[in-house]
């Protein structure tokens, strides 16, 4: 069932705009054609009424799509101009860090690829409990519960969505004792508003734009912000 839903989502992302054809036809048949038939003078030809009705249906659908897309896109552009560039105030070298959301596969990645000695974080379903991930000398992955975080630096990974459909994914690196910010980087995504299903993937846009050299570099910094800021000796090339 899950695979069917995923496949359906992919098809809608690609062919979603084709749904506009039957929608326009339904509006034409049930709304604009009957309405114009009553509003036009009796001597008006049926062909002229049909042409006016189909143009009216297209106009209504286009207006609805614009109402769905434009407000969020305007907000997205404003946020993108503000948050696309990572803000790094300080880099340090530390053995490990605390992360507000971390699973064992995340921790393993930071330990094996990031050059860290440990990663700490809360239990996913029990935020009042904490655990530490590390690796011993033999390379064995170790996970154990701790009373409280011991790391000096933390990473806050937050995800939220605005009313107009702009999705924020923001990472903040900070000093655990003072909450002083060391760095911040974000990724924004906009899918096209409440009628995005009719626009498919063609309306989806994200920032930083990985199609440009600068955007690709900014996204790399966002993705690897923990390593960039907390273990700056690691070669990311």
Co-location of 27 and 144 in the same domain: no
In a domain, 78, yes or no: no
pLDDT at residue 50, rounded to an integer: 86
In a domain, 60, yes or no: yes
Q: CA 175 to CA 97: how far, in whole Å?
A: 10
Question: Where does a domain end: 70, 105, 121?
Answer: 70
Query: In a 3-state reduction of DSSP, which class is residue 199?
Result: coil
Co-location of 183 and 107 in the same domain: yes
pLDDT band at residue 41 under the 50/70/90 scheme: confident
Note if the pTM is more than 0.85.
no
Co-location of 142 and 185 in the same domain: yes
Co-location of 125 and 218 in the same domain: yes
Maximal CA-CA distance, the chain: 92
Co-location of 59 and 168 in the same domain: no
* CB neighbour burial string for 88-105, b if at least 16 within 10 angstroms, e if fewer: beeeeeeebbbbeebeee
In a domain, 9, yes or no: yes
Co-location of 205 and 110 in the same domain: yes
In a domain, 46, yes or no: yes
Co-location of 63 and 102 in the same domain: no
pLDDT at 52 over 60: yes
**CB atoms closer than 10 angstroms to residue 194:** 14
Co-location of 177 and 120 in the same domain: yes
In a domain, 133, yes or no: yes
CB 223 within 8 A of CB 216: no
In a domain, 98, yes or no: yes
**All residues at 6 or more sequence positions from 139 whose CB lies less than 8 Å from its CB, including other chains:** none
Q: CA 131 to CA 147: how far, in whole Å?
A: 8
CB 130 within 8 A of CB 181: no
Co-location of 7 and 116 in the same domain: no
Query: In a 3-state reduction of DSSP, which class is residue 13?
Result: helix
Co-location of 63 and 96 in the same domain: no
Question: Where does a domain end: 45, 70, 95?
Answer: 70
In a domain, 93, yes or no: yes
CB 95 within 8 A of CB 152: no
In a domain, 235, yes or no: no
Percent of the chain with pLDDT over 70: 90
Show the domain range for 35: 2-70
What's the total number of domains in the chain? 2
Co-location of 91 and 56 in the same domain: no
Comparing C-alpha atoms, which of 145, 153, 94 is closest to residue 122?
Answer: 145
pLDDT at residue 8, rounded to an integer: 45
Co-location of 162 and 196 in the same domain: yes
Q: CA 152 to CA 121: how far, in whole Å?
A: 13
Q: CA 173 to CA 100: how far, in whole Å?
A: 11
Average pLDDT, the chain: 85
175-225: pLDDT as tens digits: 999 999 999 999 999 988 877 777 766 778 889 988 889 989 999 999 999
């Amino acid at each position: 069932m899950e695979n069917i839903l995923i496949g359906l989502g992919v098809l809608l992302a690609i062919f979603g705009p084709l749904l506009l054809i039957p929608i326009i036809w339904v509006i034409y048949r049930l709304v604009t054609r009957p309405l114009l038939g009553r509003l036009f003078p009796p001597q008006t030809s049926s062909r002229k009424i049909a042409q006016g009705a189909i143009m009216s249906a297209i106009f209504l659908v286009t207006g609805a799509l614009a109402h769905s897309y434009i407000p969020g896109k305007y907000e997205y552009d404003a946020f993108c101009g503000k948050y696309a560039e990572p803000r790094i105030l300080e880099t340090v070298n530390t053995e490990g860090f605390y992360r507000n959301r971390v699973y064992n596969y995340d921790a393993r990645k930071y330990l094996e690829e990031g050059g860290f000695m440990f990663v700490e974080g809360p239990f996913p379903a029990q935020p009042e409990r904490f655990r530490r991930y590390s690796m011993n000398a033999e390379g064995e992955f170790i996970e154990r519960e701790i009373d409280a975080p011991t790391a000096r630096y933390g990473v806050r990974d937050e995800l939220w969505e605005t009313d107009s459909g702009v999705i924020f994914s923001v990472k903040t690196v900070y000093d655990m004792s003072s909450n002083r910010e060391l760095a911040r980087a974000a990724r924004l995504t906009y899918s096209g508003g409440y009628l995005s299903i009719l626009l498919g993937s063609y309306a989806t846009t994200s920032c930083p734009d990985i199609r440009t050299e600068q955007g690709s570099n900014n996204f790399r910094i966002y993705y690897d912000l923990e390593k960039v800021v907390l273990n700056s000796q690691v070669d990311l090339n």
